[in-house]
Amino acid sequence: QSALTQPASVSGSPGQSITISCTGTSGDVGGYDYVSWFQQHPGKVPKLLIYAVSNRPSGVSHRFSGSKAGNTASLTISGLQAEDEADYYCISYTDTSARVFGTGTKLSVL
Amino acid sequence: QVQLVQSGAEVKKPGASVKVSCKASGYTFTDNTLHWVRQAPGQGLEWMGWLNTYNGNTKYSQSFQGRVTITTDPSAGAAYMELSMLVSEDTAVYFCARERAGSGLKNYFDPWGQGTLVTVS
């Protein structure tokens, strides 16, 4: 099972919106609505931002939203803030009931 | 509160095995699947496998097939991840994470353990 493909880095200015993509196959992202997104600050434990493609756990800011089209899922962060600077990972359920993470994206807030 | 507490850091020689524990509290241990994830220094997250804490069933990543064993001791509310035939590339922080139970909640990983650094040298 190959890792899902994410851009290595994205950047944006405070107040702007950015989108991070997560591309897989019909055997994972495209086949199931079980994509989650995590945020990880350096030296910290990953934090769940989005589950089931587009659902936010309680306590997660409405600035984070998720979507999916075909084999690609996306995480959009609106109204960028300095504290959003972190690494972001997607994960998908697969057709063998395993899981696969994305390659990870480093977000820089300029 | 719901919490996962992992065992402490380990230093192992190449070829050895390591066993990391993950002790749960604050919820019924057998209600949720536990996953193991690792992160090498400066690298991304890598899924290793899951454990059904109710019946002991497991699923492993093909990347670790034959080298990883995940077990459970329900009476202790604990899960264990053993990785054998260690090589330097296995140096990483190893995490356990609880997957919420229920329809539509696959990959709802919360909470995570604090992480256990395993150094192979």
Task: Please spell the DSSP secondary structure of B56-97, one letter per residue.
Answer: --EEE-GGGTTTEEEEEEGGGTEEEEEE-S--GGG-EEEEEE
Q: Which tokens sit at B10?
A: 């380990």
Find the Cα–Cα–Cα–Cα dihedral A71, B38, A77, A22, rounded to 10°: -10
The count of residues in chain A is 110
**pLDDT tens, position by position, B86-95:** 999 999 999 9
Q: Looking at the partner chain, which of A45, A93, A103 has a beta carbon nearest the beta carbon of B107?
A: A93
User: Scanning every residue of chain A, which has its alpha carbon at the shortest distance from the alpha carbon of B63?
Assistant: A1
Contacts of B45 in chain A (CB under 8 A): 38, 40, 46, 89, 91, 101, 104
Residues B44-63: pLDDT tens digits? 999 999 999 999 999 999 99
Mean pLDDT for each consecutive 10-residue tract of chain A (110 residues)? 95 98 97 97 97 97 98 98 98 97 97
Q: What's CA B19's distance to the chain center, in Å? A: 10
First to last CA, chain A: 35
Determine whether the interchain pair B62/A1 forms a contact, defined as Cβ–Cβ distance below 8 Å: yes
Query: Percentage of residues in chain A with pLDDT exceeding 90?
Result: 99
**Backbone phi, then psi, for A18, in 5-degree steps?**
-135, 160
pLDDT tier for residue B65 given thresholds of 50, 70 and 90: confident
Mean pLDDT over B3-9 rounds to 98
- Predicted local distance difference test score (pLDDT) of residue A70: 97
Residue B96 in contact with partner chain A when CB distance is under 8 A: no
A40–B45 CB contact, under 8 Å: yes
